[in-house]
Chain A
Amino acid sequence: MTSLDTQRRKDAQQSKPVRSRGDSTFAGLSTGAGILILLVLAGVAAFLVAESLDAISAPAEEIAGGEGVWSYVGPLVFGTLVAALIALLVATPLGVAIALFITYYAPKRIAATLGYLIDLLAAIPSVVYGFWGLAALAPAMVPFYAWAEDNLSFIPFFAGPASATGRTMLTAGLVLAIMILPIISAISREVFSQAPALHREAALALGATRWEMIKMAVLPYGKSGVIGGSMLGLGRALGETLAVAIVLSVSGGITFNLISSSNPSTIAANIALQFPESSGLGVSTLIFTGLVLFVITLAVNMLARYVVNRRADFSGAN
């Protein structure tokens, strides 16, 4: 390597790239915003950890239930995941189907109205969903639960005994599904409608039917958007408090039986129900469950990121 080369390299390192004032201002602002998010996140995490230390270090007998924080939080985690999973499994296909119908099948006027109505679902407060679930959906589901107990009890989910009120895990999951449907369908609709005409025409010109065109050029393009939308929905379902607190009949621990009246609660609903009557160690225990929820949500989001990025080469973004 000649000295000239080294010199040139040094120059390249030292001389700053030319940048406009606006560019560097904006770079500063956006970096600041990014750092702020991290700080807030770290602050919340630090608060949760500090406040739950009492409960973690307390002797097991002193925690509600008498078997320590982990046994306390276990059924809650389970309930949270089951309710959110039911919501996700129901809302994602439904949301994607609605989005496809609106973007590629429905006549313009119907599409616009339907899109508007779905968006409206997002504006309804969760307490209303809770009462709707309690007063309308739960009773309506009772006959189905009775039928499922008689005919499907070989599936663990429908083992029974069927709830007489309908306030089951499945009902709670369905209420959550309706609550997260607008997010999933709105984001799916957005990404589907942006599938490039270039590729849609490529598919059609090869002799694809509309559905085949959607499979070739729309769904692959929108996949990461759909996953992102589902994860946002999942986040909402995991954290939803009031609707679950109102709908779900809580007693008992971990069970895969979705149609009985003894269900584990969810973390968020449990905090809402227990917090007013708690003090001291009880509060600390609840905050610990909040920390667990925080970690779960973070993990879910990272998992989603990973899934979205795994095949970034093929995403169509390049």
Chain B
Amino acid sequence: MAKRIDVSDLDIFYGNFKAVEGVNVSIEPRSVTALIGPSGCGKSTFLRSLNRMHEVIPGARVEGKVVIDGQDLYGSDVDPVDVRRQIGMVFQRPNPFPTMSIYDNVVAGVRLNARKMKKSDLDDLVESSLKGANLWNEVKDRLDRPGSGLSGGQQQRLCIARAIAVQPEVLLMDEPCSALDPISTLAIEDLMTELKDRFTIVIVTHNMQQAARVSEQTGFFNLNGVGQPGRLIEFNPTEKIFSNPDQKATEDYISGRFG
């Protein structure tokens, strides 16, 4: 069910401030695409515009086109709620619902999408999603405990389980490993490699090795100066970006000679 994403001439605003300018990119289905770049260059902003989460911020808006399998996400007849049901998101800070049990967290999205499901089907879904997120063994004995009682890394994997439980077509991840130890990070990277058979994955990361390890394509965002909009400077296969990038700025950034 993975889908291809075509972005053309995308400008993204917070009120009058243009945060991202002129993005043109084509994201391949069934692959992992990494977005890298210095802090504040608009990676999160761009990512959030792919599932219309950007506009939940007051005053935030988008100009340009995002087309997923032929459908314009920002078409006037498109309900953002439907978009978000098809495009899952994992945030930088783990955000399981603190008032829900682990079990209820995993099925939260499913309950929204399809209200009626047999208990046994739900149980199976919880198990398969938690296994998919590499969390099952750690929580299988306490599914009725609050999700906020888990460690940070476990919470993040719970959020991944919650996102994949609804079988989205695209999975967006904003620095999903930034709060995790190396072992949990590796677990999540393995998970991405597994998941890309079924999903289109876009991940924002500050970790170059991670981008090199998990992604097929890499996009480099940069900005010319404070107050300037961020731009997608280069988008190429990951190997090329990390061996001989087209742009000098990319090379500088990757080799740490930045700024």
Taking a contact as CB atoms under 8 Å apart, the answer to whether B53 and A207 are in contact is no
Q: A221-B99, A316-B99 are in contact. Are A205 and B81 (CB under 8 A)?
A: no
Q: A201-B56, A207-B84 are in contact. Are A212 and B148 (CB under 8 A)?
A: no
Q: Which residues of the partner chain B approach A216 to less than 8 Å between Cβ atoms?
A: 97, 100, 108
Taking a contact as CB atoms under 8 Å apart, the answer to whether B99 and A314 are in contact is yes
The docked-state distance in angstroms from the alpha carbon of A212 to that of B82 is 13
Q: Which residues of the partner chain B approach A318 to less than 8 Å between Cβ atoms?
A: 98, 146, 148-149
Q: Which residues of the partner chain A approach B148 to less than 8 Å between Cβ atoms?
A: 316, 318
Taking a contact as CB atoms under 8 Å apart, the answer to whether B81 and A207 are in contact is yes
Among candidates B53, B99, B100, B145, residue contacting A205 with C-beta atoms closer than 8 Å = B53
Smallest CB-CB A-B distances: 6 pairs: A207-B85, A220-B99, A316-B98, A206-B109, A205-B89, A207-B84
Instruction: Judge whether A305 is part of the interface by a CB distance below 8 angstroms.
Output: no
Count, chain B residues at interface, CB 8 A: 31
Instruction: Judge whether B166 is part of the interface by a CB distance below 8 angstroms.
Output: yes
How distant is B42 from chain A, measured CB to nearest CB, in Å?
Answer: 18
Q: Which residues of the partner chain B approach A203 to less than 8 Å between Cβ atoms?
A: 97, 108
Contact with B along A197-236 (1 / 0, CB 8 A): 0110111111111001000110011010000000000000
How distant is B99 from chain A, measured CB to nearest CB, in Å?
Answer: 3
In the complex, what residue of chain A is closest to B108 when comparing beta carbons?
A: A206
How distant is B203 from chain A, measured CB to nearest CB, in Å?
Answer: 15
Count, chain A residues at interface, CB 8 A: 23
How distant is A196 from chain B, measured CB to nearest CB, in Å?
Answer: 8
How distant is B161 from chain A, measured CB to nearest CB, in Å?
Answer: 12
Taking a contact as CB atoms under 8 Å apart, the answer to whether A204 and B85 are in contact is no
Instruction: Judge whether A315 is part of the interface by a CB distance below 8 angstroms.
Output: yes
Query: In B81-132, which residues have CB < 8 Å from any A CB?
Result: 81-82, 84-86, 88-89, 91, 93, 95-101, 108-109, 112-113
Taking a contact as CB atoms under 8 Å apart, the answer to whether A201 and B162 are in contact is no
B residues at A contact (CB < 8 Å): 51, 53, 56, 81-82, 84-86, 88-89, 91, 93, 95-101, 108-109, 112-113, 145-146, 148-149, 159, 162-163, 166
New A-B contacts (15) at CB < 8 Å, excluding given A206-B163, A221-B98: A199-B97, A201-B95, A202-B91, A202-B95, A204-B56, A205-B51, A205-B88, A207-B82, A207-B85, A207-B113, A208-B112, A209-B81, A313-B145, A315-B98, A316-B148
Taking a contact as CB atoms under 8 Å apart, the answer to whether B89 and A198 are in contact is no
The docked-state distance in angstroms from the alpha carbon of A198 to that of B99 is 13
Taking a contact as CB atoms under 8 Å apart, the answer to whether B98 and A199 are in contact is yes
How distant is A105 from chain B, measured CB to nearest CB, in Å?
Answer: 13
Q: A212-B112, A221-B99 are in contact. Are A201 and B84 (CB under 8 A)?
A: no
Q: A198-B93, A207-B84, A207-B113 are in contact. Are A314 and B98 (CB under 8 A)?
A: yes
How distant is B86 from chain A, measured CB to nearest CB, in Å?
Answer: 8
In the complex, what residue of chain A is closest to B162 when comparing beta carbons?
A: A206
How distant is B146 from chain A, measured CB to nearest CB, in Å?
Answer: 5
A and B contact pairs by CB, cutoff 8 A, 13 listed: A198-B93, A198-B95, A201-B53, A202-B96, A204-B84, A206-B88, A206-B163, A206-B166, A207-B113, A207-B166, A220-B100, A221-B98, A313-B149
Query: In A276-318, which residues have CB < 8 Å from any B CB?
Result: 313-316, 318
Taking a contact as CB atoms under 8 Å apart, the answer to whether B159 and A202 are in contact is yes
Taking a contact as CB atoms under 8 Å apart, the answer to whether B109 and A207 are in contact is yes
**Residue from B82, B89, B99, B112 having most chain A Cβ neighbours under 10 A:** B99
Taking a contact as CB atoms under 8 Å apart, the answer to whether A204 and B146 are in contact is no
Among candidates A204, A205, A220, A223, residue contacting B97 with C-beta atoms closer than 8 Å = A220
Taking a contact as CB atoms under 8 Å apart, the answer to whether B113 and A315 are in contact is no
Among candidates A201, A208, A223, residue contacting B91 with C-beta atoms closer than 8 Å = A201
The docked-state distance in angstroms from the alpha carbon of A318 to that of B151 is 12
How distant is A198 from chain B, measured CB to nearest CB, in Å?
Answer: 4
Q: Which residues of the partner chain B approach A313 to less than 8 Å between Cβ atoms?
A: 145-146, 149
How distant is B155 from chain A, measured CB to nearest CB, in Å?
Answer: 11
The docked-state distance in angstroms from the alpha carbon of A315 to that of B98 is 7
